[in-house]
Amino acid sequence: MKKINLTLFAIVLMAASLAAQNLYIHKTDGTVVTVPMNTIDSITFSGSTPVDNYAWMNEIYSRGTAEDPDWIEVYNNGSTDIDLSGYKIYDSGGQSGSKPKKEFPSGTILPASGFFVIVTDTEDESGFGLSGGGETVWMENATGTIIDSIAFPGLEEGQSYGRYPDGTANWQILYTVTKGAANSNLIPVSIKLNELYSRGITEDPDWVEIYNTSSAEIDISGYKIYDPGGQAGTKPKKEFPAGSVVPAMGWLVIVVDTDDEAGFGLSSGGDEVWLENAEGTVIDYVAIPAMETTQSYGRLPDGTDNWQLLNTITKGTANQAK
- Residues 297, 196 contacting (CB under 8 angstroms): yes
Predicted TM-score of the model (pTM): 0.58
Q: Which one is predicted more confidently, 281 or 265?
A: 265
Instruction: Using a pLDDT cut of 70, give the percent of the chain over it.
Output: 84
Please tell me whether residue 39 adopts helix, strand or coil conformation. helix
Q: What is the residue type of 188?
A: P
In angstroms, the CA 203 to CA 295 distance is 17
Check whether 63 has a pLDDT greater than 80. yes
Distances (CA, A) of 14 to 24, 51, 180, 217: 7, 10, 23, 45
Right CATH for 55-174 from 2.60.40, 1.10.3470, 1.10.287, 1.10.3120: 2.60.40
Q: List b or e across 116-146, with b for residues whose CB sees 16 or more CB atoms inside 10 angstroms.
A: bebebbeeeebbbebbeeebebbbbbeeeeb
d(CA 50, CA 52): 6
The CA distance from 106 to 5, in Å, is: 35
Tens digits of per-residue pLDDT, 209-246? 999 998 889 999 999 999 999 999 999 999 999 999 99
Q: What is the pLDDT of residues 69-95, one digit of tens each?
A: 999 999 999 889 999 999 999 999 999
Nearest of 135, 15, 117 to residue 75 by alpha carbon:
117
Domains of the chain, by residue range, sit at 2-46, 55-174, 191-310
Query: For residue 123, is it left (φ>0), alpha (ψ between -120 and 50) or beta?
Result: alpha
3-state secondary structure 283-322: EEEEEECCCCCCCEEEECCCCCCCEEEECCCCCCCCCCCC
Burial grade of 35 (CB within 10 A; 0-12, 13-18, 19 or more): middle
Q: For residue 17, what is the DSSP state?
A: E
Same fold across 55-174 and 191-310: yes
The yes or no reply on domain 191-310 and CATH 2.60.40 is yes
pLDDT classification of 183: cutoffs 50, 70, 90: very high
- 49 CB neighbour count, 10 Å cutoff: 9
